[in-house]
Copies of this chain bind each other. A is one copy, B any other.
Amino acid sequence: MIKTLEWTDSGVRFIDQTKLPTEETYVTCTSCEEVAKAIRTMVVRGAPAIGVAAAMGIALGVKNSRAESVSELRRELDRCCALVGATRPTAVNLFWAIRRMQAKFEALGIRSLPQLKQALIEEAQQMYDEDIAANQAMGRWGASLMPASGGVLTHCNAGALATCGYGTALGVIRAAIALGKKIQVYADETRPFLQGSRLTAWELIKDGIPTTLISDSMAGFMMRQGKISAIVVGADRIAANGDVANKIGTYTVAVLAKEHGVPFYVAAPFSTIDLDTPDGSRIPIEQRSAQEVTHIAGKAIAPEGVAVENPAFDVTPANYITGIVTERGIARQPYEESLAKLAAVQAKVVL
């Protein structure tokens, strides 16, 4: 099993996703600052993984703290929350994780400093376990949506590497295959950061799942040829009305899906659903460095001085989305109602 991230006695250990697929190396972050940097530089990425990494980073910062009182420890907690909160703006799981760690701290009441530290470490570890369980639940719900046989397209990496394990979109595919469905995965390479070719293809091949890699621009032609029976992607933030922010290019895939009558599914844990954001127009879209577009593996592929746009995400309006698979069930249009209904379900009942 791929260990995307892991709490260890010496710190938070990550598989270095910037080095895959040619090198499988691990880095251990020994401070909250190092964890924040790992998130910012995409050593770890994927909304659910970012959420748990942030929680572990906060737990690590609190564990390392020399605070001598609860109020000093709270200041250290707040500092760590601000640190990880400033890394990436779009994935709402990051802010969900921060709020959860803060709420946990406040709920603990008066305890000894070692007890408080231990409780925050345990909270982060519980978030890790819950994430894997949520993915497995999403797989159970989503597997029925996958074709008995045929091509399933995915964009970016919403797999084990984007989560604590199993994956969201790839979890749905894994569960469908476990049911005996004959699925051929088509993986968009996902420029500019190449999460599809570097990460999705890598983890699916490791699992022996038939995978065909394509350039992003080939998705339309594949659909036109009837090779794609369904699409499933992850999400970085889902607004209350069902608009989905996900890796740049997702919207293009959704438009193509509509044109070809191919169902388009999003799989994400409830921590990705942001009921405080009414619609996609309010979701902040991170702009990343031009260098990601103009260079690959350190080599220039564009002339010097060219202007570049590099939004890391786009927003797919809810009306393009056939269904949103969560650990609590599948939401369908109209999402305002279906998401609100799922939000009212006690998570523990289904986990």
List residues of chain B with CB within 8 A of the CB of A71: none
A273-307: CB near B (< 8 Å → 1, else 0) gives 00000000000000000000110110111110111
Q: How far is the CA of A184 from the CA of B306 in the complex (A)?
A: 12
Q: Which residues of B contact A198 (CB under 8 A)?
A: 301-302
Stretch from A76-84, A188-196, A330-338 contacting the other chain: A188-196
CA A299 to CA B211, docked complex, whole Å:
20
26 A-B pairs, CB-CB below 8 angstroms? A21-B300, A21-B303, A22-B299, A189-B293, A189-B302, A191-B191, A191-B217, A197-B293, A197-B306, A201-B303, A202-B302, A205-B305, A211-B307, A212-B306, A212-B307, A213-B306, A214-B308, A218-B314, A220-B255, A224-B251, A224-B315, A252-B256, A255-B256, A296-B296, A296-B301, A297-B301
Q: Which residues of B contact A222 (CB under 8 A)?
A: 309
What is the predominant secondary structure among interface residues of chain A facing chain B? Answer: mixed
* Residues in chain B near residue A251, CB distance under 8 A: 220-221, 224
A194, B301: Cβ atoms under 8 Å?
A: yes
Contact residues in B for A194 (Cβ distance below 8 Å): 301
Q: How many residues of A contact B (CB 8 A)?
A: 54
Q: Which of B188, B205, B221, B308 contacts A212 (CB 8 A)?
A: B308
Considering the complex, give the chain B residue whose CB is closest to the CB of A308.
B213
A171 cross-chain contacts in B, Cβ below 8 A:
none
**In the assembled complex, which residues on chain B have CB atoms less than 8 Å from the CB atom of A255?**
220, 255-256, 259
Instruction: Spell out A's residues near B (CB within 8 Å).
Output: 21-22, 155, 188-192, 194, 197-198, 201-202, 205, 210-222, 224, 248-249, 251-252, 255-256, 258-259, 293-294, 296-297, 299-303, 305-311, 314-315
Given the complex of chains A and B, what is the CA–CA distance between A258 and B259 in angstroms?
Answer: 10
**Of all chain B residues, which has the CB nearest A300?**
B22
Decide: A217 and B201 in contact? CB cutoff 8 A. no
Q: Which residues on B sit within 8 Å (CB–CB) of A309?
A: 212-214, 218, 222
- Distance in Å: Cβ of A55 to nearest Cβ of chain B: 30
CB-nearest residue of chain B to A20: B303
Name the distance in Å between A24's Cβ and chain B's nearest Cβ.
10
Tell whether, in the assembled complex, residue A211 and residue B306 are in contact, meaning their CB atoms are under 8 Å apart.
Answer: yes
